[in-house]
Structure 1
Amino acid sequence: MAYPQAAQPQPAPPPSVKVILTSVELARVVDRIAHQILEKTQGAADTVLLGIPTRGAPLARRLAARISAFEGIDVPVGVLDITLYRDDLRRHAVRAVGPTEVPSGGIDGKRVVLVDDVLFSGRSARAALDALNDLGRPSSVQLAVLVDRGHRELPIRADYVGKNIPTALSESVKVTLAETDGGDEVRLIGGTAQQ
């Protein structure tokens, strides 16, 4: 007596990958955000850029370099580690705490522009606000992001957005930068590749 063989599970099709920003386009977006910061802050007077690791830190340095190239203004740049302020520490693997580097002039009375690569739920920005509160009292806080992918869980909005990318929750946005990943690109990953 022959028994029917159980159906073998089919491998899942590979996820689709779409390049949203090439290295040249990413450089243009950084230039545009730098110009917007200059316009909205009256020439970046009393402004400090604080990058949120991992990719927000090199983006903040790039913005400062472009502002300097455009206007000859040296905007102080720092790094704001938010690891201990995240509300998901209990649900995810332990992350190493990185350094927080505040510019020598501090942040008290300054306009602080937080810089991050992707704005999604808003929870990283909220954690950054909590971390910033422990460092001093800025006159105002703004947010600059390379990509806003939607799906906010908190009432947080970016002041400067490089590119709005509507996404599904099943998709992800992957930013790679030369400083951290060896090259510049933004990709949308998700769904399945077309057969």
Structure 2
Amino acid sequence: MSELTQLPEWLGGAVIGAIIAALGYVAKLIFDGVMAAYQARNARLARLVELQSLLRVGNSCFKTQILQATRLMGLIKQNHSDLKLGDGREDTIAKTYSQFTPEEKELHEIIRSMTVNALGPVNQSQLEWLKKDTYFKVQPQGKGNLSELAKLLADLEAHLMLWHAKYKVWIPNTPEHALVYLADEKGHGIGFPSGLDEEVAKIIEKARWIDFWI
């Protein structure tokens, strides 16, 4: 071999060392990228679990309030058969408010408090979650769970904004009002999006089994 093609022993070692260092650097970049993606995915999953919790709380509060409102409607029909009832729960409750018995008044106060101190805060928390979200709401239209979730979240945001808009004029200065309904006989807005809870649950379950899916 020509002397010109021979590398000094020290230089050959330096080249090999440089190659090893470069490979190590590239491997670290890949590892860091994978870890960053994994952490971002876990953060998105945690956010979705947070939304699921808020939806469950809201659903529980809503169902509890419906039970109490149904009880109150039963008392109204029993005790005020001579009065003309309104259209639906809220209208009937408001129109008979001035004639309430002590039992009815107490139940009405409980129902109204659920709107102010339970449904109001949880709806606000859901709206704040939506305002902070920069991933799930902006998924492209198409088929699949994430696309369907994006549509449902858009409907939820509209529902919550309309709910708060009605709340502000319906509750604070009108003690006879206890319920804030949108998709009832009055048709003041759009209802809670059907299927949202189930879609969130599907995505969470799928994401727990498939890494980097969301």
**TM-score when normalising by structure 1:** 0.24
Greater percentage in helix: 2
Q: Which has the higher strand share?
A: 1
TM-score normalised by the chain length of structure 2: 0.23
